[in-house]
Amino acid sequence: MDAPADPRAGWALPAPGRMPRTVDLEPLVVRVLAPNPSGMTLDGTNTYVVGAPGSGQAVLVDPGPDDAAHLAAVEAALASRDARCVAVLVTHHHGDHAEAALPWGERFGAPVAAGTAAVAGPRGRVLDHGERLALAGTTIGVVATPGHTGDHLAFRLESGAVLVGDHVLGRGTSVVTHPEGDVVAYLESLRRVHDLGPSALYCGHGPELTEDPGAVLDYYLAHRAYREHQLLTALAAGAASVEDLVATVYAEVPRSLWPAAAQSTRATLAKLRAEGRVQGGIEPGAAEPVRLA
């Protein structure tokens, strides 16, 4: 099995660190990039301002870090559309997406909606798959996309674009966290978004993917299958711990990302163990070696 080719390699995407701070993506959507770049957040967190032009209203999706400069940029984007924030939607509970949700919701007098009450807060709303939210002069569809985390949601716009949070990233691939994440659910969620036939993927981090979103989703599915194949091959060759496996399979990835790689590795081993193909210790600190069943 060969490594799948990333279709984005041939696309004219902005280089890392070169994404504009605020950009109109389509009549319904402005993207505001938060100033929190890192190995895990890429260029930073993307906050989306969504609403029909002229409605006077907008929804924030993933407000991101509770940062004064970011808040000022988001408020400027709202002001440029003469819009007030009427709701804050959150894709998942990680702080780089959710930290500002409750404080900004309070500031704007807008309810927070998310997949769990922990994120939505005491006056917020917990969203279910298939809901259609009539907000800011448009309709936003709620799409359950568990995998990266258990509570992950995507939001489908009337234009056909899907706001995918950390389900799909603008560059590279995402992490299936462990023990919260779930590889089987993640693969199902990738197929679910693929089946929507998205016109664009607006990612939680990195550039928006407009050229061929379906090809990126196919690549993500192939990438996960390839990682599984690599883990089984490394186990057959004698690797006996998660640390061995990460050092082998992620040899080309910067070491600063190995802790995240270890999470995806454990999540994939958990799937293989459930399938009866692997046995042994896959949890952090496990004494028992991991091996082929």
Enumerate the active-site residues: 96
End-to-end CA distance of the chain: 21
Question: Is residue 99 a contact point for Zn ion (CB under 5 A)?
Answer: no
CB 193 within 8 A of CB 154: yes
- Interaction mask 241-280, Zn ion, x per CB under 5 A: ----------------------------------------
Q: Position 48: which residue type?
A: Y
Binding part of the chain for Zn ion, among 15-23, 29-37, 130-138, 203-211 by CB under 5 A, reads 203-211
Question: Is residue 151 a contact point for Zn ion (CB under 5 A)?
Answer: no
Q: At a CB cut-off of 8 Å and minimum separation 6, what does 1 contact?
A: 225, 226, 229
C-alpha dihedral, 212 to 183 to 284 to 286, nearest 10°: -140
Q: Which of 43, 62, 96, 228 binds Zn ion (CB under 5 A)?
A: 96
| Minimum distance, C-beta of residue 144 to Zn ion, in the bound complex (Å) | 18
By C-beta, is 166 or 208 nearer to Zn ion?
Answer: 166
By C-beta, is 170 or 204 nearer to Zn ion?
Answer: 204
Q: Take residue 257 and report the two structure tokens written for it.
A: 């990302």
- Chain position carrying tokens 């995402």: 174
Q: How far apart, in whole angstroms, are the C-alpha atoms of residue 118 and residue 77? A: 28
By C-beta, is 96 or 182 nearer to Zn ion?
Answer: 96
User: Radius of gyration of the chain from Cα atoms?
Assistant: 19
| Minimum distance, C-beta of residue 174 to Zn ion, in the bound complex (Å) | 9
Binding part of the chain for Zn ion, among 11-19, 21-29, 148-156, 160-168 by CB under 5 A, reads 160-168
Binding part of the chain for Zn ion, among 66-74, 122-130, 136-144, 161-169 by CB under 5 A, reads 161-169
Question: Is residue 62 a contact point for Zn ion (CB under 5 A)?
Answer: no
Q: How far is CA 203 from CA 76, 80, 142, 173, 233, in A?
A: 21, 23, 15, 11, 32
| Minimum distance, C-beta of residue 45 to Zn ion, in the bound complex (Å) | 6
| Minimum distance, C-beta of residue 41 to Zn ion, in the bound complex (Å) | 6
Question: Is residue 166 a contact point for Zn ion (CB under 5 A)?
Answer: yes
By C-beta, is 137 or 204 nearer to Zn ion?
Answer: 204
- Chain position carrying tokens 């091996």: 291
Q: Take residue 183 and report the two structure tokens written for it.
A: 């590889």
By C-beta, is 230 or 264 nearer to Zn ion?
Answer: 264
Q: Take residue 17 and report the two structure tokens written for it.
A: 């660190």
CB 114 within 8 A of CB 86: no
By C-beta, is 8 or 205 nearer to Zn ion?
Answer: 205
Q: Which of residues 120-149 bind Zn ion (CB under 5 A)?
A: none
Q: Take residue 260 and report the two structure tokens written for it.
A: 């995240």
Numbers of helices and strands, H then E, in the chain: 8, 14
| Minimum distance, C-beta of residue 224 to Zn ion, in the bound complex (Å) | 18
**Which chain residues interact with Zn ion by CB under 5 A?**
96, 166, 204
